[in-house]
Amino acid sequence: MWALAPFLARGFAQCGIAEISKDWQKVVMTSLTDINFSSVRPRRSVLSVPAGNHRALEKVRNLDCDAVIFDLEDSVAPEKKAEARENLRGLFKEKPLQGVERIVRINALETEFGRADMDLAVEISPDVVLIPKVEHVAEVQSVADILSEAGAPDDLAIWAMIETPKGVLNASVIAAADERLKCFVVGLNDLRKETGVLSQPGRAYLVPWLMQIVLAGRAHGIDVIDSVFNDFRDTEALEAECRQGRAMGFSGKMLIHPTQIELANRHFGPDPKAVKDAETIIAAFAEPEARHLNVINLNGRMVERLHLAEAEKLVAKAKFLAERKKSS
Ligand code: COA
Ligand code: MG
């Protein structure tokens, strides 16, 4: 657990929220039992912003999303890639984004743009490099090698987009590719294109693949983010998909438009009732007579220590969000 401290401190220092950093370490050191950082870091709303779009880039500081993907890949035309990199160079020189995980989506290394994107990533040092269309372990390892050889900090993470048939089939080995890999992001636009599966409410024919990706990620302790929902004016359909994604075990949703943030935060965020319940569980296990018990009777409900661990994670996440709100 102590080994986590510098990692946690950097994560929160990057948020620019000193109180959270201190608070966080206090929470971790004093009350959490067996929690890794990625299971507590909120990733409810992960907004993609085309790095070529000045107006959208300017808006990012005022949005309440947990993470921003600065996209150099598919949303940027080939002739605009260099300009998009310049935009990010400028943005990262300005004052840090408050409380937001900063992700740069590169073009795949085998494309003509990949290497220059990686050079930029090493230079500006975001929190995460997101690799698109990952199909094999080697693609993650190549990016990890470039980061390590360039002396990038150990906690500069890698995320992988799973958005091709081979990516889905290989998800369980990809998830264990490298220690820097912290998260999968599902990309259904590409997956539908590659497989011919239609876009339908309920995603019935995609659910088995989605669950396979969730399972692969969870087996290796990494987060999994649900795909974008294209029709950004259809809030009712987005809400249904957020509800479904949450029930399937996703940590959050990749978004394409600011109007989608509030819904994702609401559906993937800690439910206030669940947080209250979690506090009751923590208090019950803190009673002296429960100290040596692995299972207790909480008002007619069996509660085990595994529920305590879950409760602690939930309360820590709620605390993080409350502190971020206070300092924004
Ligand atoms: N991030 C930040 N701001 C955004 C945004 C985003 N992803 N999408 C839209 N906005 C801003 C617009 O700049 C606009 O700002 P303004 O009112 O100051 O002019 C405002 O939100 C309203 O936008 P709207 O007019 O409704 O949409 P649009 O036509 O500007 O953009 C899209 C629509 C789909 C082109 C745009 O949302 C987008 O590019 N999304 C991300 C696409 C992407 O990243 N794809 C790759 C991953 S799948
Ligand atoms: Mg894609």
* Distance separating the N- and C-terminal Cα atoms of the chain: 29
Quick one: average pLDDT of 300-325?
A: 93
Supply the residue whose CA is at minimum distance from atom 2 of ligand 1.
56
Give the closest residue to 152 by CA, choosing from 186, 125, 189. Answer: 125
Please tell me the predicted confidence (pLDDT) of residue 236: 98
Considering the chain, what percentage of its residues have pLDDT values greater than 90?
Answer: 83
For Cα atoms 180, 9, 132, give the angle at the middle one, nearest 5 degrees.
30
Q: Which ligand is nearest to the CA of 48?
A: 1
Give the separation between CA 248 and CA 211, rounded to whole angstroms.
Answer: 7
Q: Is the beta carbon of 261 within 6 A of some atom in ligand 1?
A: no
Residue-wise DSSP of 73-85: STTS-GGGHHHHH
Q: Is the beta carbon of 326 within 6 A of some atom in ligand 1?
A: no
Give the closest residue to 264 by CA, choosing from 283, 291, 278, 244. Answer: 244
Supply the residue whose CA is at minimum distance from atom 12 of ligand 1.
56
What is this structure's pTM?
A: 0.90
Q: Is the beta carbon of 75 within 6 A of some atom in ligand 1?
A: yes
304-318: b (≥16 Cβ within 10 Å) or e: ebebbbbbbbbbbbb
Residue 129 and residue 118 in contact, taking contact as beta carbons nearer than 8 Å: yes
| pLDDT tens sequence across 15-44 | 333 333 333 334 433 344 444 445 578 999
Please tell me the predicted confidence (pLDDT) of residue 39: 59
Q: Which ligand is nearest to the CA of 54?
A: 1
Please tell me the predicted confidence (pLDDT) of residue 136: 98
Q: Which ligand is nearest to the CA of 189?
A: 2
Q: Coil, strand or helix: which one is 90?
A: helix
| pLDDT tens sequence across 96-133 | 787 899 999 999 999 999 999 999 999 999 999 999 99
Quick one: average pLDDT of 281-290?
A: 96
| pLDDT tens sequence across 196-242 | 999 999 999 999 999 999 999 999 999 999 999 999 999 999 999 99
Give the separation between CA 213 and CA 226, rounded to whole angstroms.
Answer: 10
User: Which atom in ligand 1 lies closest to the alpha carbon of residue 60?
Assistant: 2
Please tell me the predicted confidence (pLDDT) of residue 22: 35
Task: Compute the distance from residue 105 Cα to the ligand 2 centre, in Å.
Answer: 10
Give the separation between CA 130 and CA 96, rounded to whole angstroms.
Answer: 19
Give the separation between CA 80 and CA 82, rounded to whole angstroms.
Answer: 6
Give the separation between CA 249 and CA 190, rounded to whole angstroms.
Answer: 21
Q: Is the beta carbon of 188 within 6 A of some atom in ligand 1?
A: no
Characterize the bridge pairing of strands 67-71 and 128-131.
unpaired
Quick one: average pLDDT of 309-321?
A: 93
Give the separation between CA 181 and CA 148, rounded to whole angstroms.
Answer: 13
Q: Which ligand is nearest to the CA of 258?
A: 1
Please tell me the predicted confidence (pLDDT) of residue 137: 98
Q: Which of 182-186, 292-296, 321-325 has the lowest mean pLDDT?
A: 321-325
| pLDDT tens sequence across 47-59 | 999 999 999 999 9
Confidence of residue 328 (pLDDT cuts 50, 70, 90): confident
Give the separation between CA 144 and CA 34, rounded to whole angstroms.
Answer: 26
Give the closest residue to 41 by CA, choosing from 100, 105, 126. Answer: 100
Number of CB atoms found within 10 A of residue 43's CB? 24
Q: Which of 21-35, 83-97, 285-299 has the lowest mean pLDDT?
A: 21-35
pLDDT exceeds cutoff 70 at 4: no
Tokens at 140, concatenated: 């993650």
Please tell me the predicted confidence (pLDDT) of residue 97: 83
Q: Is the beta carbon of 61 within 6 A of some atom in ligand 1?
A: no
Give the separation between CA 2 and CA 64, rounded to whole angstroms.
Answer: 31
Give the closest residue to 163 by CA, choosing from 190, 194, 182, 184. Answer: 190
- Tokens 């559906």 appear where? 267
pLDDT exceeds cutoff 90 at 187: yes
Give the separation between CA 203 and CA 294, rounded to whole angstroms.
Answer: 40
Residue-wise DSSP of 29-55: HHT-SS--HHHHS--SEEEEEETT-HH
Q: Name the helix (H) or strand (E) containing 176.
A: none
Candidates 47, 91, 162, 256: which one to mutate for ligand 1, based on the most atoms within 8 Å of Cβ?
256
* Mean pLDDT for all residues in the chain: 89
Q: Is the beta carbon of 50 within 6 A of some atom in ligand 1?
A: yes
Q: Which residues, including other chains, have CB under 8 Å from residue 134's CB and lie 6 or more apart?
A: 140, 160, 161, 162, 167, 174
pLDDT exceeds cutoff 50 at 14: no
Give the separation between CA 154 and CA 176, rounded to whole angstroms.
Answer: 17
Give the separation between CA 215 and CA 205, rounded to whole angstroms.
Answer: 17
